[in-house]
């Protein structure tokens, strides 16, 4: 937590160093985040909803996805969320000699101020959606929102570490595999799955769980799913976390024996 505080102070110092420039960056990020979800929302507006979700329920889903990825970006949107970068670049070996636990060393890239635009956008869109939604949300919906956001974050992180385990075996080819998978899941999560056929919906809830980052949690919060379905995201989060832990450790054991092959004799990355 001390390290997180240091990163937060450094990030705030970045804002104060050139506040005008940073405000331009943050505001432009806000417009970029809004434009990234406006296409789906405009479709929902034109057709008065998509797949059983009305226009403001679709906006709720888009806001939820922004909140999930906004918190992830603030807490580890640099290399902590994408360990394949650290492994593929040979930086994992640098961690061997550091007199700190791996958990502390992976507390990197915490930017609570300069990367807050996606979270701010998500909160603003959520407020607007809740204010206009055509149903009375239960009093506990905020608690359900927080719990589901945490579960979705666990799924994102576990998925990233699961695919990053491949980097121990192929560091050059898989250096950016975690960012590719996470960003692909983020982009795909903006599409409501309600109106899609089962053969498309099921893979997006299991093999490539983009539907668990916004669509299914939105249905759970809005009370549009059966009771047993509400347990599926947390069950999936536990399973993918165990899988990520197992395969990451297996890859680490292989890496310890073989080492990195990205450095030539001169010490430069090939």
What mean pLDDT do residues 29-38 have? 84
pLDDT single digits (tens) 109-164: 778 888 888 898 999 999 999 999 988 888 889 999 999 999 999 999 999 999 99
Cβ-Cβ contacts under 8 Å for 113 (sequence gap 6 or more): 8, 11, 12, 14, 15
Provide the H-helix boundaries in 198-231. Answer: 198-201, 215-221
Instruction: Specify if 246 maps to a domain.
Output: yes
DSSP assignment letter at 206: T
Q: What is the DSSP string of 240-255?
A: HHHHHHHHHHHHHHHH
pLDDT category of residue 262 using cuts at 50, 70 and 90: low
How many distinct structural domains can be found in the chain? 1
Domain boundaries, position 94: 2-258
Question: Is-contact 72 122, C-beta < 8 A?
Answer: no
Instruction: Specify if 48 maps to a domain.
Output: yes
Neighbours of 2 (CB within 10 A): 8
From the number of C-beta atoms within 10 Å of its C-beta (0-12, 13-18, 19+), residue 217 rates as buried
Instruction: Specify if 109 maps to a domain.
Output: yes
Instruction: Specify if 82 maps to a domain.
Output: yes
Instruction: Specify if 242 maps to a domain.
Output: yes
Q: Which residues pair with 269 in a beta bridge?
A: 263
Instruction: Specify if 38 maps to a domain.
Output: yes
Q: Give the global pTM.
A: 0.89
Q: What are phi and psi of 47, to 5 degrees?
A: -105, 15
Instruction: Specify if 266 maps to a domain.
Output: no
* Angle at 173 (CA atoms; ends 204, 36), nearest 5 degrees: 45
pLDDT above 90 for 58: yes
Instruction: Specify if 23 maps to a domain.
Output: yes
From the number of C-beta atoms within 10 Å of its C-beta (0-12, 13-18, 19+), residue 247 rates as middle
């Amino acid at each position: 937590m001390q390290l997180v505080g240091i990163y937060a102070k450094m990030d705030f110092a970045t804002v104060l160093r050139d506040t005008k420039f940073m405000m331009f960056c943050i505001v432009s990020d806000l417009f970029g985040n809004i434009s990234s979800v406006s296409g789906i929302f405009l479709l929902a507006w034109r057709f008065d909803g998509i797949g059983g979700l009305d226009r403001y329920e679709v906006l709720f889903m888009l806001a939820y996805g922004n909140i999930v990825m906004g918190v992830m970006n603030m807490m580890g949107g640099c290399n902590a969320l994408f360990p394949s970068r650290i492994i593929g670049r040979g930086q994992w070996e640098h961690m061997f000699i550091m007199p700190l636990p791996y958990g502390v060393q992976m507390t990197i890239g915490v930017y609570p101020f300069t990367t807050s635009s996606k979270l701010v956008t998500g909160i603003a869109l959520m407020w607007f959606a809740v204010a206009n939604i055509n149903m009375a949300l239960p009093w506990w919906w905020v608690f359900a929102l927080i719990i589901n956001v945490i579960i979705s974050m666990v799924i994102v992180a576990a998925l990233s570490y699961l695919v990053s385990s491949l980097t121990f075996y192929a560091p050059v080819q898989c250096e950016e595999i975690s960012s590719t998978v996470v960003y692909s899941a983020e982009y795909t999560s903006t599409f409501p799955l309600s109106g899609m056929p089962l053969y498309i919906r099921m893979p997006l809830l299991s093999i490539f769980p983009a539907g668990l980052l916004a669509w299914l949690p939105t249905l759970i919060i809005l009370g549009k799913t059966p009771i047993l379905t509400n347990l599926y995201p947390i069950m999936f989060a536990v399973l993918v976390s165990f899988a990520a832990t197992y395969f990451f450790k297996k890859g680490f054991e292989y890496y310890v024996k073989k080492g990195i092959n990205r450095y030539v004799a001169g010490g430069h990355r090939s």
